[in-house]
Amino acid sequence: TGEYATLLDTELPPIAPMTTRMKLVSFFCGCGGVDLGFRSAGVKVAFASDFNAKAASTYALNLGHAPVVSDIRNVEAATLKAIGDVDVVAGGFPCITFSTAGKRAGVVDDINGKLYLELCRVISTISPRYFVAENVEGILSANGGGAVKLVIAAFLRLGYRTSYELVNMAEHGVPQTRKRVVFVGVRIDQWRGTFVFPKKTQRLANDASAPKWLPIARTLREAIGDLGPPN
């Protein structure tokens, strides 16, 4: 009840406002930020999974779809094939090994660094038309710059042309200075030329190179500062 209920009804409508008849399969789905964007664009979530039960619970409350609580390594091919035709696979594979704040083992980390190969496994099994993956800025320099090349080569071997770009989410309406490398893969039979990333919709206040007609990026206070304490 109250203002939070109104906010949720506005920002997280229980039913997507439109449909493209496209189906999404999501891994490392977390609490659903990426999938909310897809759903808002009319893409139906057909399957989602994350190993964190609390994140999955939040996802279910916000998106009305209960993720499978499981490590991606335990999601079997039969489960994936039972979903049927899939248009998009999304997955933000773990960033801890690529982050500049850690030891930066990169792709030689057998626990986290090779989880992109699990994403490759499910893409190979499902064969979606497209995939979207993301990771931290540090992946560009991890392993002396070799990590990102290896990841791109792995996707190409599966039959996907992949474009990637370092995106500051604050320049696209998110009230947080959050830089992420976004990968967009297109199956070769669907390839129509280089994927063009969306243009910035907002600008950072200290960015002298950004077009002056763009509004300044919102702060967290501007986004939710009017809300009272949660009950």
The residues annotated as belonging to the active site are 95
Per residue, what are the HEC states of the chain?
Answer: CHHHHHHHHHHCCCCCCCCCCEEEEEECCCCCHHHHHHHHCCEEEEEEEECCHHHHHHHHHHHCCCCEECCHHHCCHHHHHCCCCCCEEEECCCCCCCCCCCCCCHHHCCCCCCHHHHHHHHHHHHCCCEEEEEEEHHHHCHHHHHHHHHHHHHHHHCCEEEEEEEEEHHHHCCCCCCEEEEEEEEEHHHCCCCCCCCCCCCECCCCCCCCCCCCECCCHHHHHCCCCCCC
